[in-house]
Amino acid sequence: MRPSIHHIAIAVRDMDAALALYGEALGLEVSARREVPEEGVEIAFLPAGDGEIELIRPLDTANSVARFLEKRGEGLHHICLKVANLEEALERLRRAGVRTIGEPRTSAAGTRYIFLHPLSTRGVLIELYEER
Amino acid sequence: MRPSIHHIAIAVRDMDAALALYGEALGLEVSARREVPEEGVEIAFLPAGDGEIELIRPLDTANSVARFLEKRGEGLHHICLKVANLEEALERLRRAGVRTIGEPRTSAAGTRYIFLHPLSTRGVLIELYEER
């Protein structure tokens, strides 16, 4: 199975204003909105076909999303591709010289995920997901 | 019908290197690669689930993709959402204060499309598609 687009993540400073745009004005449905204090962010999900738009707002000034906003302003932050087998995908990527940010982690929902370093992926922060 | 993710566009300087990453290393299939001289770009499409990754390389230094690369380097360039009715979508967006870049155009394949101005969409260049 080839990878598919799981989500597009957008960094925002003002979640209400972003939801007014992507929800009301663009017509996407907001399926969830919650704070994730352990990651220092508030997130909202808006399904869009097979994939979804994920809005991310930093809750403090210390994390990587806050630094992204400081440096580049609001905008496209990363894309996430769903793969069938994360270990196989990583083996192939590492052979091609792609570096990861740390090792794979498992979310509370059981999804295994990892970020690829944008300096090794031609400027795009790419997340890989393997759903279990 | 709500909007769905049609494609994610990535600006690249080196198409062969980008295809080695997204095609060979990430395992996406390259469905097409061609130059579009009238827009001054080379493009490649890699289907990924319901949507696709679109790689864009400028053929000269004068167009907006070339200016994007000059300013920000390789990376995420825009996202495209497919809508059921472009006129209805634009009416709602304009009421919400969103500005467009020009007026809707029709591609050779009959797709109607328009770009929303990132200064009115919280930093994200958003393209809207209506397939006929």
Same domain, yes or no: A73 and A92: no
Is the domain of B16 the same as that of B52?
yes
A70 in the same domain as A11: yes
pLDDT confidence bin for A62, thresholds 50/70/90? confident
3-state class (DSSP) for residue B70: helix
- Tell me if A53 and B5 make a contact (CB, 8 A cut-off): yes
pLDDT for the residue B1: 84
Q: Is the same domain home to B96 and B51?
A: no
User: Is A94 a member of any domain?
Assistant: yes
Q: Which residue range is the domain that position A100 belongs to?
A: 83-132
**C-beta neighbour count of A56 within 10 angstroms:** 23
Q: Are strands B100-106 and B51-58 parallel, antiparallel or unpaired?
A: unpaired
Q: Count structural domains, chain B.
A: 2
Alpha-carbon span B5 to B82, nearest angstrom: 6
pLDDT digits (tens, 9 = 90+) for A113-126: 999 999 999 999 99
3-state secondary structure of A78: strand
Is A24 part of any domain? Answer: yes
Mean pLDDT across B33-40 = 93
A126 neighbors A115 (Cβ within 8 angstroms): yes
Is A2 a member of any domain?
no
Closest residue in A to B123 (Cα) is A75
Q: What is the CATH number of the domain that holds A115?
A: 3.10.180.10
Q: Are B100 and B51 in the same domain?
A: no
What secondary structure, in 3-state letters, does B9-51 show?
A: EEECCCHHHHHHHHHHHCCCCCCEEEEEHHHCEEEEEEEECCE
Geometric angle at alpha carbon B28, from B27 and B31, rounded to 5°? 145
> Could you tell me if residue A1 is inside a domain?
no
Residue type, B13: R
Q: Which residues of A touch B122 (CB under 8 A)?
A: 10, 12, 14, 17-18, 21, 74-75
Q: Are A74 and A98 in contact (CB under 8 A)?
A: no
CB within 8 A of B40, min separation 6: which ones? Answer: B58, B59, B60, B62, B63, B65, B66
Same domain, B49 and B69: yes
pLDDT bin (cut points 50, 70, 90) of residue B108 is confident
How close, in Å, is residue A130 to chain B by CA atoms?
Answer: 14
Complex ipTM tops 0.85? yes
Whether residues A14 and A69 fall in one domain? yes
B70 and B87 part of one domain: no
pLDDT greater than 80 at residue A15: yes
Tell me which residue in A3, A25, A49 faces B4 most closely, judged by beta carbons: A49
Quick one: B72 and B87 in the same domain?
no
Same domain (yes/no): B26, B72: yes
